[in-house]
Structures are given as C-alpha cells and as structure tokens.
Amino acid sequence: MSFPPSQATPQSYAQDFGRYIGARAPLKLPDAVLAEAVWRTVSQEVPAAAPRIGPRPVFWYWWVVFSFGVIAVGAGTEAVFGAGPLVSLFMTTIVFVGATCLGVFHAWKRFPYDRELGLAVAAARALTDEVRSLAFSSAMAEARRPGRLPPAFPLLVSFPAPQPRPNGVSPEEAEWLVAEWMRFLGAADAEVTRYSADGGIDVVSTTHIAQVKNLSAGYRVPVAQIRELAGVAAHDRRQALFFTSGSYTASGLEFADRAGIALFTYDAMRGTLDGVNGHGRSIRAQGLTVSR
C-alpha cells in the first residue's frame, strides 16, 4: 500500500487504514496483547514516508575535467622541460593543490543539499510517526468496538518465547510466565485469571485452561491435583494444561494420559519449557492447535 494514496491526506489514510487493521484483530484478546499485536502490524504495514527533496547535485564531471586537465598539463610539461625530479615535484604540487581546491568547492556546493536532506529526513520520520500513531489509535478503537464481528482474515498474532528469569519466579509470577508460554504456543488470548488461583484455574484462553504449581525441583505434583483439573475441564469443556516447576508422580502421568491432559515442566531461570507426557510433547513441538 502506498503512503498515502494520491487522493488521501496522510491523516485520513491513517484513520482508514487503522480501522482496516482493527477490524482484522482477533476477538477477546487481552488489552496488552491486543495493543502489541496491533502496533506490530501497524509498524509493518504502514510504510515509512519518503523524504521530499530535489535531485542530488552532480559533481562527477568536475573530477573528470580535473583528471583530463592534469594529464594534459603533465604531458605538456614533459614535452617542454622533459622528465625529471623538478617536473615530478611540479606535477605533484599541481595535483595536490587542484584536488584540495576541487574538494573544498565540492563540499561548499553540496552543503545546502546535505542540510536540506537532513531536514527532509527528519520531517519524513515525524510524518511516519504521526501516521502510525493515528493508525494505531484508530485500529485500537475499531478493535474494541462493541458488537464487532469476528474477522474473516485475522491478524497473525505471534509471540516470542519468554526470556529467562535469572532470579526465578514467585508463585504469582509463575502464572504470568505460563501465560507467556501459552501465547507463544498459540493461545494468543491467554491471560492470568483475576480470582485467587490456589486450587483452581490460573491461566485461561478461549480454548484452554491451565493450572500452575510453582514448586521446588524435588516436589512432585500428586495425582489428586491432576484429577481436580480434569474435573474442572470436563465441566468447562476447554482443553486442560498443567504446568509445574517440579515433577509428576507416576500415577499422575498415567491419569493425565487417560484424561487427555497435557503436562509440562518449566524452568524459569533457564527459560525452558518441556512436555512431560505425549500430549505435552506434541503441543510443545507443534503448538496448541494440535491439542484438539
């Protein structure tokens, strides 16, 4: 898409294109996730404005004339005085003085253009920032509009893997970490629940629910907690995921396989996530789209 179309002002272009982007935003995204996805799309799809400036001054022919002049002077000098040290010194002086003077002239003639170019680049950047800001505001307003229909061709919402936490995480921070992992795996609308998570669901998305247990490395999640999650999932009808920084008992692994619950272990300090059972390993390798 051009910037902007010839019949539109940059401001009207930004508002129209912003509404187009907002209409493509998936529904029910958390606000922070929505803002990040919209801004990424605006930055990629709204092109930068080109600096408006005249043609660059041409100076190459001055150097061509100078080169031919030096050759002519050198040939004439040798024809009159012959070759020798004084002739070489004279020619060296001619070349040095001539090149210096021509370089100064070149810089003097180009200075106004360089100054104009700097101003034009700054103006283009300011216009780009203004248009992208307007497009972002318009896109967010459209994306938040009540009653908006699901987009036929939604924005591609992708997220990087969580960064390592060298100092580890608290139980509450572990829930935010798992939400980041779920977004990375494909659940773009994953967010931490607003109510107390102890013994309940800690992270939810449109299609998945997750429980998080931030435990010491030697602690194992008992099968009773996995059964409890399975009961919630059977009533909720969303795919269940279990995340822990510890490990699982053998009976817990066996029950999770039968119940179709994906099990994961995370290491916040190393920034890693591993699938523990077959469901977990499949999701870790291919994303949450394969879980159902």
Residues contacting 85, CB < 8 A, separation 6+: none
Residues contacting 15, CB < 8 A, separation 6+: 134, 135, 138
Average pLDDT value for residue range 192-214: 83
What is the share, in percent, of the chain residues with pLDDT greater than 90? 48
5 and 142 in one domain? yes
276 and 199 in one domain? yes
State how many domains the chain has. Answer: 2
206 and 131 in one domain? no
The region, left, alpha or beta by phi > 0 then psi within -120 to 50, assigned to residue 137 is alpha
DSSP code per residue over 157-214: ---PPPPP-TT---HHHHHHHHHHHHHHHT-TT-EE-SS--TTS--EE-SSEEEEEE-
Residues contacting 248, CB < 8 A, separation 6+: 220, 221, 226, 256, 263, 276
Q: Is residue 16 part of a domain?
A: yes
pLDDT bracket for residue 257 (50, 70, 90): very high
71 and 205 in one domain? no
Whole-number average pLDDT of the chain:
86
Identify the CATH number of the domain in which residue 261 sits: 3.40.1350.10
pLDDT attached to residue 198:
42
Answer whether residue 249 shows pLDDT above 90. yes
204 and 127 in one domain? no
pLDDT attached to residue 31:
84
Q: Is residue 231 part of a domain?
A: yes
Instruction: Give 55's DSSP letter.
Output: P
Average the pLDDT over each of 34-43, 170-179, 246-255 and give the range with the smallest value: 34-43
260 and 191 in one domain? yes
Answer whether residue 242 shows pLDDT above 60. yes
- Which residues share a beta bridge with 220? 247
175 and 56 in one domain? no
List, in sequence order, every beta strand (DSSP E) within the chain: 191-192, 203-204, 208-213, 220-221, 239-244, 247-248, 262-267, 272-275
Beta strands 203-204; 208-213: pairing state = antiparallel
- Which residues share a beta bridge with 204? 191, 209
231 and 197 in one domain? yes
5 and 138 in one domain? yes
- Which residues share a beta bridge with 243? 212, 264
Answer whether residue 36 shows pLDDT above 70. yes
175 and 81 in one domain? no
pLDDT attached to residue 177:
96
Q: Can you give the residue range of the structural domain that contains 259? A: 171-290
Average the pLDDT over each of 45-54, 119-128, 188-197, 247-256 and give the range with the smallest value: 188-197
**Are 119 and 125 spatial neighbours (Cβ–Cβ below 8 Å)?**
no
Answer whether residue 107 shows pLDDT above 70. yes
Closest by Cα among 1, 285, 27, 279 to 144: 27
Q: Is residue 156 part of a domain?
A: no
pLDDT attached to residue 3:
54
Phi then psi dihedrals of residue 243, to 5 deg: -120, 135
pLDDT bracket for residue 7 (50, 70, 90): low
